[in-house]
Every structure is written in C-alpha cells, then in structure tokens.
Amino acid sequence: MIQLNDIGIPNDYFLLDEEQRRKLCVELIDVIITIIDENYQPQFNRMELLKLLIKINIEQLLKDENYELIQVLRDIEKILDEN
C-alpha cells in the first residue's frame, strides 16, 4: 500500500470497482488540493497546478514503470476533466 497523508492507495488498485476507485481518487484530489493551498501562493490556479503536477508525475512514473500509480493519476485526470 502506498500512503499519501492518511489515504492509502492499495497495490491492487486495478482490482477495485469503478465506485471504489472514484471515491479514492476524490479523496486524493482533496488531499492534494489542501497541500497546494498550504504551500503555494493564492495567485496560482490550484486546479491548473494540480493538472501540471499530475502530468509531470505520470511522465516520471512511466520511467519508473509504476503502472498502478499511473492509473490512479489518470483516473484523477478524468475526474478533473469532468468538472
């Protein structure tokens, strides 16, 4: 399991159903937005910053072949694009 603050991302993320994956991703979005709010100046658009951070991390995770986390980040991107 991978931990981000109090949220655990299971190693078998691929086995979660759609509802479980969505719930986990929404929780992660909330945690990441809170971290952004605490560490960056308010003039930054936090949603754009979040999307940029996700893109950068996906690129790095591809190099590391960490496909579970890549899928989590892609699912988060999908949720962000819905809004």
Given this model, what pLDDT does residue 22 score?
96
Flag whether pLDDT at 4 surpasses 70.
no
Distance, C-alpha 25 to centroid of its chain: 6
Q: Which long-range contacts (CB under 8 A, 24 or more apart) does 19-25 make?
A: 21/75, 22/75, 22/79, 24/72, 25/72, 25/75, 25/76, 25/79
User: For the chain, which residues make up each domain, given as ranges?
Assistant: 2-82
Read off the pLDDT of residues 12-39 as tens digits, 9 standing for 90 and up: 899 999 999 999 999 999 998 998 888 8
Given this model, what pLDDT does residue 8 score?
79
Residues 25/58/69/7 CA torsion (nearest 10 deg): -50
